């Protein structure tokens, strides 16, 4: 007899590793699967205007295709001087194909004339759980900080090379150790809130 299983609906290898790492700390006895562990299916277009909407879209698709309880996240960088953009468009900010390097170059160009004191920003993450019986749960996490003027660091992914968190001034989130980033990140905060609820629901 196998124990409870949950699918994490993400194709982003670094994001999947981060989610599995944090969840497995809190989901004792629950097997955390990735999309490569199930039969391939057509993933939905992320066309919702909110992080919550996109996370639910992906989680519902995972349940429908794989028949497993599914967790999905949607996250992005919200820059105050850009009226909260790139927001839900963060991964596709510079257009197709997706490219972290081009996204970062575009963001730096858009903020070139913005003074340091107005370069405030925050990372937002919504994590959705959808169960096979249709029950749904969404939690959010947030990490406040600022966008610096040059790329620094080799860890993390996405905009981490340009973001200094208020909780760790002087270093980008790409310069933090994995443990330090997990402790303060938007995704880490959301996953630590939802993980005990996932465990309770899966054990039913």
Q: Specify whether the CB–CB gap between 122 and 142 falls below 8 A.
A: yes
The annotation status of 74 as a binding-site residue, yes or no, is yes
**What burial letters (b/e) apply to 24-35, b meaning 16+ CB within 10 Å?**
eeebeebebbbb
To the query of whether residue 180 is one of the catalytic residues in this protein, the response is no
Please return the burial class of 177, using the count of CB atoms within 10 Å of its CB with bins 0-12, 13-18 and 19+.
exposed
- Partner residues linked to 145 by β-bridges: 121, 165
Q: Specify whether the CB–CB gap between 44 and 16 falls below 8 A.
A: no
The annotation status of 185 as a binding-site residue, yes or no, is no
Q: How far apart are the C-alpha atoms of 187 and 193, rounded to whole Å?
A: 10
Q: Which of 36, 42, 47, 74 is catalytic?
A: 74
The annotation status of 181 as a binding-site residue, yes or no, is yes
The annotation status of 98 as a binding-site residue, yes or no, is no
The annotation status of 5 as a binding-site residue, yes or no, is no
Closest Cα partner for 188 from 196, 197, 179?
179
The annotation status of 157 as a binding-site residue, yes or no, is yes
The annotation status of 10 as a binding-site residue, yes or no, is yes
- Partner residues linked to 123 by β-bridges: 77, 143
Q: Find how far residue 88's CA is from the centre of its chain.
A: 11
The annotation status of 75 as a binding-site residue, yes or no, is yes
The annotation status of 189 as a binding-site residue, yes or no, is no
Instruction: Provide the annotated active-site residues.
Output: 74
Please report, in range form, the residues annotated as the binding site.
10-15, 74-75, 157-160, 181, 186-187
Extract the annotated binding site for Mg(2+): 74
What residues are designated binding site for substrate? 10-15, 75, 157-160, 181, 186-187
């Amino acid at each position: 007899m196998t124990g409870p299983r949950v699918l994490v609906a993400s194709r982003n290898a670094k994001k999947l590793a981060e989610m599995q790492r944090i969840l497995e700390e809190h989901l004792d006895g629950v097997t955390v699967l990735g999309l490569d562990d199930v039969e391939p299916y057509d993933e939905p277009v992320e066309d919702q205007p909110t992080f919550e909407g996109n996370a639910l879209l992906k989680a519902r698709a995972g349940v429908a295709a794989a028949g497993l309880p599914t967790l999905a996240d949607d996250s992005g960088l919200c820059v105050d001087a850009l009226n909260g953009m790139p927001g839900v468009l963060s991964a596709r900010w510079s257009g197709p194909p997706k490219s972290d390097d081009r996204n970062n170059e575009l963001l730096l160009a858009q903020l070139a004339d913005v003074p340091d004191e107005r370069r405030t920003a925050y990372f937002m993450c919504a994590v959705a759980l959808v169960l096979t019986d249709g029950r749904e749960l969404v939690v959010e996490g947030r990490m406040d900080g600022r966008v610096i003027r040059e790329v620094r660091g080799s860890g993390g992914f996405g905009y981490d090379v340009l973001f200094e968190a208020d909780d760790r001034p002087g270093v980008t989130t790409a310069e933090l150790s994995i443990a330090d980033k997990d402790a303060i990140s938007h995704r880490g905060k959301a996953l630590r809130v939802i993980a005990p609820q996932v465990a309770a629901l899966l054990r039913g």
